[in-house]
Each structure stands twice: as C-alpha cells, then as structure tokens.
Amino acid sequence: MPPPGDIHGSAQNKFGSALLIQGEAKGFGKSRTEVGLILRRNPDRLVGPDAVFVAAASLPLRRSPEGYLETIPELVVEIRSPNDSDPEVQAKVNEYLAAGVRIVWVADPDRQTVTTYRMGQAPQILGPTELLTIPDVIPGFQALVADLLRD
C-alpha cells in the first residue's frame, strides 16, 4: 500500500499527541501511533492502526518476538483515507471490537467527523464543534473534533 497522505498524517499526529499529552503523560496508560498490533493468533492477524491507547490496568505491554504489540488496547483510532470504502472501514471496526478493543474511533477528515464504536452500542457520530471524550479510559480527556482534523 502507498503511504498515507499529508492530511492523514496530520490527523494521526494530532490524535497521537492528544493521547500522549492527556493520557500517557498523566499516567493513564501508554499511547502509540502506527504500531503493528497482533489481534489474534493461529491464524495470525497483524494490523496497523493509526493510533492506540492501552490503559494502565492493561500494562505492562506485551510484545511479540518481532516487536509487535500483543496487548489489546482499550482504544484504537483509524483515520479514513479517501479510498476507504464504508464496508472496509466497518470490517476493521468489527474486527477490533471482536478482538476486545473497547472503543474504536473512526476519524473522517473529509467530513470532519469522528464516529465512536463500542461493542453492543449504536455508533455515535461527532461533528467538528463537538468534544471527543473517553472518561472510562482517560479521565478528563477532551478534544474538539475540528482541532484533531484541521489541516
């Protein structure tokens, strides 16, 4: 696959920075961007989410011999690329939730939205003027959607 474009990279940087500053730096867990994550074994399923957050309760991190993350994060962030189809994105979300990820954020820079997915709940779509929060994973985390997706 070709590398992501500039808008994608900007959003990834902002999500990763927000998770680092508001989550990891305050001791709530560990944040990562563009990390290899093993969702399951036999057959192995390796994915590369744009950003993740592993809560302190799930630490220490477990890594495969190859250096990939084996700890299932509480939060996964996927940033839509222009060529991502709705069925492809939904399949990724379903796979993350089935593996035990509690929250999946799908950020759409074109639409300026973040959709939050949780197992057994209807998706929640937040627009550019709304605050993204995850009090059950990172207490006090707040980010305006527009700030995360602004070029």
Residue 123 domain-assigned?
Answer: yes
Domain count, the chain: 1
1 in a structural domain: no
Residue that is written with structure tokens 């950003």 in the block: 51
Q: Does some domain include residue 63?
A: yes
Strands 113-118 and 124-126 come out as antiparallel
Domain with residue 38: its CATH number is 3.90.1570.10
Nearest to 143 by CA among 151, 135, 133, 129: 133
Q: Is 58 among the domain residues?
A: yes
Cα 89 to the center of its chain, rounded Å: 13
Per-residue pLDDT tens digits of the chain, which is 151 residues long: 677 889 999 999 999 999 999 999 999 999 999 999 999 999 999 999 999 999 999 999 999 999 999 999 999 999 998 889 999 999 999 999 999 999 999 999 999 999 999 999 999 999 999 999 999 999 999 999 999 999 8
- Domain of residue 78, residue span: 6-149
The model carries a pTM of 0.95
- In this prediction, residue 38 carries a pLDDT of 97
Q: How many CB atoms lie within 10 A of CB 67?
A: 8
Position 1 scores a pLDDT of 65
